[in-house]
A = this chain, B = another copy of it.
Amino acid sequence: MGKALDYQQILDQLYNEIAVLDDPGELASYIPELSKVSTDKFGVSLISLNGEIYGAGDYQERFSIQSISKLYSLSLAYNICGEDLWSRVDVEPSGTSFNSLLQLEAENGIPRNPFLNSGALVICDVLLSKLDNPKQEMLDLLNQGVGSSDITFDTAVANSEKSVGWRNIALCNYIKSYGNIDNHPDDVLDLYFHLCAISMSCRELAQASLYLANNGIIPETQQRVNTISQTKRLNAIMQTCGFYDESGEFSFRVGLPGKSGVGGGIIAVFPTQYAIAVWSPRLNEKGNSFKGMNLLEQLTTITEASIF
């Protein structure tokens, strides 16, 4: 299944076709620091389970992974808490946009899923309660996955988000009002803004995500991040909730579990096969990378390979 495919050729072809497309998307403008990124950046990297690395365009350039970090913080919290985690956050798609407060009100402060901002804030609260140094442990997880040591936070981006992060401050205090945040909102938000401000390249993202295609084990180090069952469930949550209120559309068009970020990055995973990361900062109206979505859809269409 897909093994004989020449992924490098496919990536090159798709990159060339899509790079020149008229892109109707717009840069995320609400975070001042993010709006400085060059809008024509475009890169993609696919890494197979047997270690082959493919890439095209700006796939070695780091960018702000933003909400993609919600995937790794969830991995960490799930590993620590096991199934107890789900008393704090649900696993249902929300059907609403990423920073909505609507459902929180109807559901007493239990976020619909850990990939909404609300859910990720609860995950940050869990990490703060369970770990001595959650920031460092997150960086360690990513650096181990990549085999590097210099993946870190872009403090300018973290501060930029904090300076305009009224909606997230509102969300965190709102959940606190329902008793589903244990730590002080300021501390939770500080961790949240830092995790969003991690910088990685497409190649690094794909590499750091390979454990999700490999039953929870980092291929290179053979370190286990999550159990088999946890890993399948993480992929399932990505499948149903990874793209806010475009999750159904992504599942429909691409057919792989994935997670997007407002910096224009998307990570997708083909269990037993590969992880792939794309980056292009212009976002469609749902907040997902226009070119990134496009490339992934065409990739699974051409290869006729998806989880379905």
Contacts and interface: CB of A to CB of B under 8 A. Distances in A.
Interface in A112-155: 112-113
A248 B237 contact: yes
A263 interface: no
Contacts of A258: none
B170 A166 contact: no
Interface stretch (A34-42, A56-64, A66-74, A239-247): A239-247
Contacts of A260: none
Contacts of A241: 248
A232 B255 contact: yes
> Oligomeric state, in number of copies?
4
Interface stretch (A6-14, A96-104, A202-210): A96-104
Interface in A230-254: 231-233, 235-237, 239-241, 245-249, 251-253
B304 A228 contact: yes
A308 B246 CA distance: 20
Contact of A239 (B105, B231, B240): B240
Contact of A176 (B93, B95, B166, B174): B166
Contacts of A228: 304
Contacts of A169: 169-170, 173, 185
A177 B85 CA distance: 30
A257 interface: yes
A203 to B, nearest CB: 24
B95 A93 contact: yes
Contact of A177 (B166, B176, B307): B166
A100 B255 CA distance: 27
A60 B177 CA distance: 35
A306 interface: yes
B103 A102 contact: no
A301 B229 contact: yes
Given A101-B174, A102-B102, A170-B174, A247 B236 contact: no
A94 interface: yes
Given A92-B247, A93-B240, A101 B101 contact: yes
Contacts of A93: 92-93, 95, 240, 247-248
A53 interface: no
Contacts of A172: 170
Contacts of A308: 231-233, 235-236, 239, 257, 271, 307
Given A92-B249, A93-B247, A167-B174, 17 more contacts: A91-B249, A91-B251, A92-B93, A92-B247, A95-B103, A101-B101, A101-B102, A166-B177, A169-B170, A170-B176, A232-B255, A233-B253, A236-B255, A236-B306, A236-B308, A257-B308, A271-B307
